[in-house]
Amino acid sequence: MRKLVVLSVFALGVATPALAQVTQSQLEDLRVQQQAAERRFIDQSNQLQALETRLRADQASADLTAQRAGARVPQLRYADPTVGVSAVTPKYPSMPDAVLADSNRRVQDAARNRR
């Protein structure tokens, strides 16, 4: 009886690893599935990147279109008060050419006579 129990335990111990072993074809199937999953991931990443690029390009195009259109200026409901008024040019101070030439000559003389 004791031998029978020992043999049955031994048989179960030997049989269990044999059942847990994976065949070569199963390993190959797992590798193929893994490669397919990697390819799907790469395809999805490429599609996502293409969509992001297209979105950026569309946004840039819309920005350029908005810039070309320029800012909308509201129309005035009332008459423009500057229309019809003659523009008065301001009188700027003026200096005769002879006075400027004399001033320039004095500055040049002072620059030459440094102490």
Query: Is the pLDDT at 113 greater than 90, yes or no?
Result: no
Residue 43: inside a domain: yes
Residue 91: inside a domain: no
How many domains does the structure of the chain reveal?
1
Residue 1: inside a domain: no
> Span 84-95, mean pLDDT?
74
Q: What is the pLDDT of residue 14?
A: 55
Prediction pTM value: 0.40
Residue 106: inside a domain: no
Range of the domain at 63: 23-68
Residue 30: inside a domain: yes
Residue 54: inside a domain: yes
Residue 33: inside a domain: yes
The DSSP secondary structure of the chain, one letter per residue, reads -HHHHHHHHHHHHHHHHHHHPPPHHHHHHHHHHHHHHHHHHHHHHHHHHHHHHHHHHHHHHHHHHHHHH-PPPPPPSS--TTTTPPPPPP------HHHHHHHHHHHHHHHHS--
Span 52-70, pLDDT tens digits? 999 999 999 999 988 888 7
Residue 107: inside a domain: no
Query: Residue for token digits 């279109």?
Result: 65
Amino acid at 93: P
